[in-house]
């Protein structure tokens, strides 16, 4: 089994491919005040402190515990609560998470809304129909059907891999409506199986235990085969990272494929080879793939063969990426294109300063290995590192590497991973294509 979602350090020995925080930045510690619980009417209610309603009026769905004056009633974990301002104005219907710093997440901002089975069916159907209209549907296609807050469903992620939908529920509210969500997916997603992968680290922040297994239909007996840009991948929905595959990099993999013909490519933190396979399919002269997981590299080796790609042009290396980059420097190795797609070094904003050193190091060493005119595809999936900070880190790496570099492209997640204008925290993946002048 390849390495799983575990905290990644900027420095250290074991850095397999990334395990992403797709909820965005974890919030800072809440104010140190005790929230009174008041037994009131039949509908549980959260009442905010004075002047704390502005973010909700701008449709931001998170309610931090430090902004809450009191909780009325005795809501259970995941229960739907009414949210009111200090002056009594209605603000929304939200899911209650008593063990989280995010005390509640808004399902709907309209007072007339009803949070019931029909609500979840309608939201999931809308998301599925939007994806179908924009991206089409094929028997071996793969797409993100539901992307949390951007689709009005905080804590709900759904990826469709061919005939299997994989659902990840990361909040108490999403768990409470698990059956309704599973039924809606089975009804609207055009799949024969709904498989749960609610085993991300973030579930512990909600006081929940990891949960995996089939929700509707049977568990797939083995990897689910999908096709992306003409390349076939076997997706391990049972044990693979996150839901089994990083769909967010789809467009960036295609971009790399168009940039590598007859060039020497280095793919760092390659996991099962999303970028490596596309580089080989794009006619790269050579592709060197580095990851700390022997299991992930074994899958990559099999997929090179399955796709009929030239194994003679592929070199698979099990190693710590930091150490391997320094080794390549000592060996005077040079490449034309380098991909850096590391695990999250900073799951929270508080960890950003420590993580910056790790991001700077790998980008510095990579730039030293690029030939003039070479391109660096570099990414951060850390919610705690903003797009602006990431570019500053990469710019600092170029200065320390003694190279002149310029940005050719700013990269993001594929468009089936939309970002709500009211919820910028949803933009977790950021990338740059830099050229060495």
Cα 358 from chain centroid (whole Å): 19
List CB contacts of 133: < 8 A, sequence separation 6 or more: none
Which region, left, alpha or beta, applies to residue 269 given φ > 0 means left and ψ of -120 to 50 means alpha?
Answer: left
Hey, what are 265's tokens? 């490519």
Is there a catalytic annotation at residue 268? no
Q: 3-state DSSP: the chain helix, strand, coil percent, rounded to 5?
A: 30, 30, 40
Determine which one of 268, 270, 381, 434 is catalytic: 381
First to last CA, the chain: 41
List CB contacts of 347: < 8 A, sequence separation 6 or more: 7, 21, 26, 201, 382, 383, 384
- Strand ranges for 49-113 from DSSP E: 62-64, 68-72, 80-84, 90-96, 102-108
Count of alpha carbons within 13 Å of 343, Cβ hemisphere only? 25
- Of the candidates 59, 137, 132, the one whose C-alpha atom is nearest the C-alpha of residue 423 is 59
| Beta-bridge mates of residue 267 | 289, 339
What span, in angstroms and rounded, lies between the C-alpha atoms of 39 and 388?
A: 46
Count of alpha carbons within 13 Å of 281, Cβ hemisphere only? 25
What residues act catalytically? 381
């Amino acid at each position: 089994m390849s390495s799983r979602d575990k905290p990644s350090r900027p420095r250290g020995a074991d850095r397999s491919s990334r395990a992403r925080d797709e909820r965005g930045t974890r919030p800072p510690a809440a104010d140190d005040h005790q929230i009174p619980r008041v037994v009131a009417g039949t509908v549980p209610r959260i009442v905010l402190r004075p002047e704390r309603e502005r973010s909700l009026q701008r449709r931001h769905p998170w309610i931090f515990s430090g902004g809450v004056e009191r909780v009325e009633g005795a809501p259970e974990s995941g229960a739907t609560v009414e949210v009111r301002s200090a002056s009594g104005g209605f603000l929304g219907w939200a899911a209650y998470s008593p063990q989280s710093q995010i005390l509640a997440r808004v399902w709907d901002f309209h007072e007339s809304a009803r949070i019931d089975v029909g609500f979840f069916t309608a939201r999931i159907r809308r998301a599925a129909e939007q994806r179908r209209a924009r991206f089409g549907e094929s028997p071996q296609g793969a797409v993100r059907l539901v992307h949390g807050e951007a689709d009005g469903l905080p804590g709900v992620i759904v990826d469709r891999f061919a005939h299997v939908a994989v659902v990840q529920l990361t909040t108490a509210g999403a768990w409470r409506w698990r059956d309704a969500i599973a039924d809606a997916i089975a009804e609207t997603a055009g799949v024969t199986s709904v498989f749960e992968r609610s085993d991300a680290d973030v579930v512990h922040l909600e006081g929940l235990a990891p949960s995996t297994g089939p929700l509707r239909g049977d568990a797939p007996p083995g990897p689910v085969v999908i096709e992306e840009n003409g390349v076939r991948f076997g997706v391990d929905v049972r044990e693979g990272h996150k839901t089994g595959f990083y769909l967010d990099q789809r467009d960036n993999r295609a971009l790399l494929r168009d940039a590598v013909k007859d060039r020497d490519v280095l793919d760092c933190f390659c996991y099962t080879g999303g970028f490596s396979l596309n580089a080989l399919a794009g006619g790269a002269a050579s592709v060197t793939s580095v990851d700390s997981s022997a299991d992930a590299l074994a899958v990559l080796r099999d997929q090179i063969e399955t796709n009929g790609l030239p194994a003679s042009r592929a070199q698979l290396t099990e190693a710590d990426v930091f150490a391997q980059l320094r080794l390549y420097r000592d060996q005077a190795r040079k490449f034309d294109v380098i991909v850096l797609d590391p695990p999250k070094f900073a799951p929270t904003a508080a960890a950003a300063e420590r993580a910056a050193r790790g991001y700077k190091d790998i980008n510095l060493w990579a730039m030293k290995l690029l030939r003039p005119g070479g391109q660096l595809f570099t990414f951060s999936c850390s919610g705690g590192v903003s797009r602006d900070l990431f570019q500053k880190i990469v710019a600092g790496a170029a200065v320390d590497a003694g190279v002149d570099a310029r940005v050719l492209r700013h990269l993001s997640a594929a468009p089936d991973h939309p970002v709500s204008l009211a919820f910028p925290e949803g933009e977790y993946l950021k990338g740059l294509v830099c050229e060495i002048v």
